[in-house]
Amino acid sequence: NEIQRIPVRRILSKLDDYFNKKEYGRAFDHLTYWINEAKETGDAEGKLTLYNEAVGLSRKVGEKERAFAYATDAIALAEKIIK
């Protein structure tokens, strides 16, 4: 299975647009969609980048439990990538 990379730069650019407009719900939807795409395509590095962004967004809006969940997923994924 060949890994298809998600368009991380384009994703982060759109995410910045949502941040600038304070559209945090849309930012979460955007991240969730692309995290799922990264899972489907096998792009672990892209998924790790998006988990990191999701942690930051969760912290920004005061959702500590969500931030912790994303951080936990990121650590588990990083451990898989390193092996």
HEC string of 31-76 equals HHHHHHHHHHHCCHHHHHHHHHHHHHHHHHCCCHHHHHHHHHHHHH
Q: What integer is the mean pLDDT of 7-24?
A: 97
Contact 48, 72 (CB under 8 A): no
Report residue 43 as tokens: 């792009």
Amino acid at 4: Q
> Do 54 and 70 contact (CB within 8 A), yes or no?
yes
What is the model's pLDDT at position 83?
Answer: 84
Please report which confidence band the pLDDT of residue 77 belongs to, taking 50, 70 and 90 as the band edges: very high
Contacts with 76 (C-beta within 8 Å, 6 or more apart), sequence order = none
Q: What is the pLDDT of residue 2?
A: 81
Read off the pTM. Answer: 0.93
pLDDT digits (tens, 9 = 90+) for 22-60: 999 999 999 999 999 999 999 999 999 999 999 999 999
